[in-house]
Amino acid sequence: MLIKENSKSLFQKAQQLIPGGVNSPVRAFRAVGGEPLFIESAKGAYLFDVDGNSYIELINSWGPMILGHGNEAIEQAVIEALRKSPSFGAPTEAEVNVAELIVEMVPSIEKVRMVNSGTEATMSAIRLARGFTKKNKIIKFEGCYHGHGDSFLIAAGSGVATMGTPDSPGVTKGTANDTLTAPYNNLEAVEALIQKNKDQIAAVIIEPVAGNMGCVLPQEGYLQGLRSLCDSHGIILIFDEVMTGFRLAKGGAQELFGVMPDLTTLGKIIGGGMPVGAYGGRKEIMDWVSPAGPVYQAGTLSGNPIAMSAGFTMLNHLNSHEGIYSQLDKISERIFHGFQANLKAVSKNYTMNRIGSMISLFFTENKVTDFESAKTSDTELFGKYFNAMLENGVYIAPSQFETLFLSTAIDEKIADLIITANLTALKSIDGL
């Protein structure tokens, strides 16, 4: 039985000071029952909470800790940058170095602008696409989450799905009217929207591998089909690679699938765990960003020297270690097949999706290829599963609609501990 007294006390206090007691909704554990754990520290593949419990964790700060927690090289880079000052509000060599690495590693990016979060990156990319094309409407996909910008909170996944609110109050009708939605993995629906809104669509934005309705892979030819449609109709194709960028390959999903977007949004890994984001793409489009062009975007802390120093160390490591992605894939495959064997042993209908170091378990017998099929999952059963895993020392995402992210800190021994904990957890759940 886990000890939770200190977490309980902190959560009670937090609810008096912070809306819902958390600073991001999924952390509240409402989708899985119970109250959130307050984390004190982390190292390698392990989290440690304020009550002295330890967990093998499969979230890794929602993706960026691809090398595990407490990487010594990143820590040292942060310490050295901090000694010089946390912020200047002026250009630094570090941001140029990070930009150079991003341009080198991501196939479609010729120029890049640093921002402070994935949400800021997607908002900025949409504004740029509208300014460049002089069109107003965008197409997004049901279940894809691109941050909490107004334009994206229409048929979003992830947090809003977890909280049971498909759209958010405060989003104006005008904004909603300019956001068109299509089912993921459905080219015909996209083509129909384009024909119905001829010469009005500025951009199509998509997670090339969805991570916010759980891990959902693009069907064969789907991304290529989107590229062709956008080319035919003068539409900017935006890949939201906040999750997949530098995680699935050095050049992200676009390298893996061989499809080049016009703009790419990045986050997570490029800060080495520090708050950061970026958007980049073809030079002719990026040169429309102020001060080079008329599309305004600014940020006092953009290119923050601490985040840039951490990010450069992270990206340099990923760029210079050839075997890192095969290592992640090998561990991911081991866990994936271990979980599948366990689930078969308890005779439960389930679906598992995996690509590289991203994995999702859905409690549904249906193949999960879009948001509608993801929503057939038994979320009540997932809540029981989450808590059973926690009791067995494994911290997974507290939502059916979130992806698991693995790190290089998980070796074969730890992977086997995770698989064993998974079997014990499954056997303990009533109704399985």
**For the segment 209-236, what is each residue's pLDDT rounded down to a tens digit?**
999 999 999 999 999 999 999 999 999 9
Q: Which residue's entry shows tokens 């759940």?
A: 429
Q: What Å distances lie between residue 10 and 3, 15, 36, 198, 431, CA to CA?
A: 14, 9, 10, 53, 33
Residue 160, pLDDT > 50, answer no
Q: Are 352 and 344 in contact (CB under 8 A)?
A: no
Hey, where are the domains in the chain? Answer: 5-70+322-428, 72-320
Q: How confident is the model at residue 422 (pLDDT cuts 50, 70, 90)?
A: very high
Instruction: Provide CB contacts within 8 A for 181, sequence distance 6+.
Output: 139, 140, 141, 142, 154, 155
Q: Report which of 193, 256, 180 is spatially closest to residue 229, judged by C-alpha positions.
A: 193
Q: Is 84 a catalytic residue?
A: no
Phi, psi of 279, rounded to the nearest 5 degrees:
-140, 145
Write the pLDDT tens digit of every residue in 72-128: 999 999 999 999 999 999 999 999 999 999 999 999 999 999 999 999 999 999 999
Question: Active-site residue 268, yes or no?
Answer: yes
Residue 404, C-beta contacts closer than 8 angstroms, at least 6 positions apart = 58, 59, 215, 358, 359, 360, 396, 397
Q: Which of 46, 145, 222, 385 is an active site residue?
A: 145
| Predicted confidence (pLDDT) per residue in 33-87, tens digit | 989 999 999 999 999 999 999 999 999 999 999 999 999 999 999 999 999 999 9
Q: Do domains 5-70+322-428 and 72-320 have the same CATH topology?
A: no
Superfamily of domain 5-70+322-428: Aspartate Aminotransferase, domain 1 (3.90.1150.10)
375 included as an active-site residue: no
Burial of 299 (0-12, 13-18, 19+ CB in 10 A): middle
Show the tokens assigned to 276: 């950061």
**Residue found by looking up tokens 């598992």 in the block:** 352
Q: For 161-189, how does the pLDDT look when each residue is reduced to its tens digit (9 = 90+)?
A: 434 344 667 777 777 789 999 999 999 99
Residue 159: what pLDDT?
A: 47
Q: Which of 268, 370, 375, 395 is catalytic?
A: 268
Displacement of CA 248 from its chain's centroid (Å): 12
Please tell me the distance from the alpha carbon of residue 336 to that of residue 76, in angstroms, as a whole number: 34
* CATH number, domain 72-320: 3.40.640.10
What the block records as the tokens of 341 is: 């064997």
- The catalytic position among 178, 240, 262, 370 is 240
